[in-house]
């Protein structure tokens, strides 16, 4: 497997995630698009680490850090979605008028 193939896969994941994040109105689908974008970036980092840096530990540490950030982002995002749904019964991005209240 070459670096070009890995980077094309990462770009495809990132592109699908970007389309999903920008085109969807549901909060859950928006979060899934963001998760796909982070997975594409992570795949690119791992590809550069594995095929470009000959397996140095810095790339592995960065990949673990990105995975931890993804887990925290999803947990906080879904907690906010649940809190927003409980408060205003809004499950779509257009259904909320303002977040001040």
For the chain, list the domains and their CATH numbers.
3-95 (1.10.287.3510)
Q: How many CB atoms lie within 10 A of CB 36?
A: 20
Mean confidence (pLDDT) of the chain: 82
42-84 pLDDT, tens digit per residue, is: 888 888 888 777 766 766 777 888 888 888 988 888 888 888 7
Task: Quote the CA–CA distance of 18 and 88 in Å, as a whole number.
Answer: 27
**Can you give the C-alpha Rg of the chain in angstroms?**
17
Task: Quote the CA–CA distance of 32 and 48 in Å, as a whole number.
Answer: 24
| pLDDT computed for residue 55 by the predictor | 66
pTM higher than 0.85 for the full model? no
Contacts of 91 (CB under 8 A, 6+ apart): 26, 27, 85
Contacts of 99 (CB under 8 A, 6+ apart): 84
């Amino acid at each position: 497997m070459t670096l070009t193939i890995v980077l094309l896969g990462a770009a495809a994941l990132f592109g699908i995630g970007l389309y999903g994040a920008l085109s969807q109105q549901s909060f859950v689908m928006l979060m899934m698009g963001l998760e796909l974008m982070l997975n594409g970036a992570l795949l690119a980092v791992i590809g550069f680490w594995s095929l470009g840096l000959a397996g140095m530990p810095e790339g592995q540490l960065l990949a673990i850090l990105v995975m931890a950030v993804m887990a925290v982002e999803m947990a906080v995002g879904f907690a906010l979605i649940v809190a927003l749904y409980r408060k205003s019964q809004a499950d779509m991005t257009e259904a909320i008028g303002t977040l001040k209240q």
